[in-house]
């Protein structure tokens, strides 16, 4: 953790080419703006998580709402990879879990981005699954896979600590979700903490020991967050407002037309609508009004309690030697894009 920021940045950027799949993130800058105050290009990093972001993508709402902007969707497998792309300047908006965002806002990364939206509060869609063990304590000496620097990694460490196990009591292996599934099928690992849709595959032959919903009840809340480059938010507020409003529209569709939303998410995940609906129900989704409330992001005048959630996450990560130091609470308060959220949903 004593590397200089420049060395960290260089190492992250070297790995950028291998961190995304699908269309791939462009390394070019956003390409300037249109005469109407919108960007010529909006580069979005998404993940295969059954929330409103996949509805927006499937329905092509952004393409319709920003007709003069080229929307580029790039698939990423973890929030750590999104952080890498943000540092390299190859994304404008991305999805990352609360644990990698906490790291992103902290030293040594200090990424110049902020959180304008909570895609979902993680529930039963992330869990610790074991092949034979019937309790977390029974995992002592076992191999457990999870994507490092992800919300699953954070939750795994919290689950081990809650069960009285140290990280050194098990062997934790860093694998992306698709690699977790392959390792499970080969019998190379004894357990895994991972999210859907891979979680659903593991559940067929394994036993769920604890979920992120269980951990949230114990104070270890995790969430999937949007991050927007600060430079982009400042330069193109109209585009960010439009993006926020489409995300809110997706939450309303999920609440009001479950079948239609499940069909959209199912197409993106290559799942039957019934299974997509089941996975959507494992998440807590918030509309714009809720997000601007005191329990979550809050307002520019009064940042919400979610800043404290990120601060608590940083404290936990520091205790696990995942961060060199814990930033002040104000760092996370300033990391919430409350003004932009208020502009999109004025009270």
Give the single-character DSSP code of 18. G
Q: What is the separation, in whole angstroms, between the first and last Cα of the chain?
A: 43
Per-residue pLDDT of the chain (347 residues; tens, 9 = 90+): 323 333 333 444 433 333 333 333 333 345 578 878 899 999 999 999 999 999 999 999 999 999 999 999 999 999 999 999 999 999 999 999 999 999 999 999 999 999 999 999 999 999 999 999 999 999 999 999 999 989 999 999 999 999 999 999 999 999 999 999 999 999 999 999 999 999 999 999 999 999 999 999 998 999 999 999 999 999 999 999 999 999 999 999 999 999 999 999 999 999 999 999 999 999 999 999 999 999 999 999 888 999 999 999 999 999 989 999 999 999 999 999 999 999 999 87
Tokens of 19: 């961190």
- Which CATH code of 3.40.190.10, 3.40.50.300, 3.40.220.10, 3.40.50.10540 fits the domain covering 5-121+222-344? 3.40.190.10
Domain 126-217: top CATH class: alpha beta
Kindly compute the dihedral angle of the four CA atoms of residues 105, 5, 74, 238, in this order, to the nearest 10 degrees: 50
d(CA 191, CA 156): 11
d(CA 188, CA 40): 46
Query: Angle CA(19)–CA(285)–CA(328) in degrees, nearest 5?
Result: 65
Q: Per this entry, what is the length of the chain?
A: 347
What burial class does residue 250 get, using C-beta atoms within 10 Å of its C-beta: 0-12 exposed, 13-18 middle, 19+ buried?
A: buried
What residues does each domain of the chain span? 5-121+222-344, 126-217
229 beta partners: 113
With left for phi above 0 and alpha for psi between -120 and 50, is residue 237 left, alpha or beta? alpha
d(CA 106, CA 116): 17
d(CA 263, CA 78): 24
CATH topology match: 5-121+222-344 vs 126-217: yes
CA 214 to the chain's CA centroid? 19
71 beta partners: 42
Give the single-character DSSP code of 113. E
User: Residue written as tokens 């996949």?
Assistant: 54
Sign of the Cα pseudo-torsion (263, 269, 275, 277, in order): negative
Kindly compute the dihedral angle of the four CA atoms of residues 122, 96, 109, 341, in this order, to the nearest 10 degrees: -90
CA distances to 13, 83, 191 from 16, rounded to whole Å, are 5, 10, 28
Tokens of 75: 């698939």
What is the pLDDT, as a whole number, of residue 31? 55
User: Residue written as tokens 């039957």?
Assistant: 272
Tokens of 198: 């891979």
What burial class does residue 119 get, using C-beta atoms within 10 Å of its C-beta: 0-12 exposed, 13-18 middle, 19+ buried?
A: buried
d(CA 170, CA 166): 8
CA 276 to the chain's CA centroid? 18
Residue 8 main-chain phi, psi, to 5 deg? -60, -45
What is the pLDDT, as a whole number, of residue 3? 31
Contact 287, 276 (CB under 8 A): no
Alpha helices, DSSP H only, in the chain? 5-14, 52-59, 61-65, 79-88, 98-105, 151-162, 177-186, 198-203, 212-217, 230-235, 237-256, 258-269, 273-280, 288-291, 306-319, 329-334, 338-344
Kindly compute the dihedral angle of the four CA atoms of residues 171, 312, 86, 67, in this order, to the nearest 10 degrees: 120
């Amino acid at each position: 953790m004593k590397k200089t920021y420049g060395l960290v940045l260089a190492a992250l950027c070297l790995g950028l080419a291998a961190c995304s799949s699908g269309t791939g993130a462009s390394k070019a800058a956003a390409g300037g703006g249109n005469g109407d105050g919108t960007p010529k290009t909006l580069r979005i990093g998404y993940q295969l998580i059954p929330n409103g972001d996949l509805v927006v993508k499937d329905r092509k709402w952004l393409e319709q709402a920003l007709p003069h902007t080229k929307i580029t969707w790039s698939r990423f497998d973890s929030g750590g990879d999104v952080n890498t792309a943000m540092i390299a300047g190859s994304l404008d908006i991305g999805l990352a879990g609360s644990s990698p965002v906490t790291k992103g806002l902290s030293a040594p990364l200090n990424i110049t981005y902020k959180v304008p939206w909570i895609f979902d509060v993680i529930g039963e869609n992330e869990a610790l699954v074991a092949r034979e063990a019937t309790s977390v304590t029974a995992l002592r000496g076992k191999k457990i896979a999870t994507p490092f620097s992800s919300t699953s990694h954070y939750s795994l460490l919290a689950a081990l600590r809650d069960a009285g196990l140290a990280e050194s009591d098990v062997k934790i292996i860093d694998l992306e979700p698709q690699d977790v599934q392959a390792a499970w099928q080969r019998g190379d690992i004894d357990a895994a903490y991972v999210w859907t849709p891979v979680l659903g595959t593991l559940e067929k032959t394994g036993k769920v020991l604890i979920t992120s919903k269980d951990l949230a009840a114990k104070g270890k809340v995790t969430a999937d967050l949007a991050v927007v480059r600060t430079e982009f938010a400042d330069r193109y507020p109209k585009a960010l407002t439009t993006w926020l409003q489409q995300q809110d529209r997706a939450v309303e569709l999920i609440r009001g037309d479950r079948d239609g939303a499940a069909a959209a998410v199912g197409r993106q995940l290559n799942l039957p609508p019934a299974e997509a609906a089941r996975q959507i129900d494992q998440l807590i989704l918030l509309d714009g009004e809720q997000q601007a409330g005191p329990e979550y992001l809050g307002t520019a005048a009064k940042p919400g309690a979610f800043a404290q959630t990120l601060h608590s996450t940083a404290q936990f990560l520091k205790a696990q030697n995942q961060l060199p130091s814990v930033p002040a609470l104000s760092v996370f308060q300033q990391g919430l894009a409350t003004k932009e959220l208020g502009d999109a949903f004025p009270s």
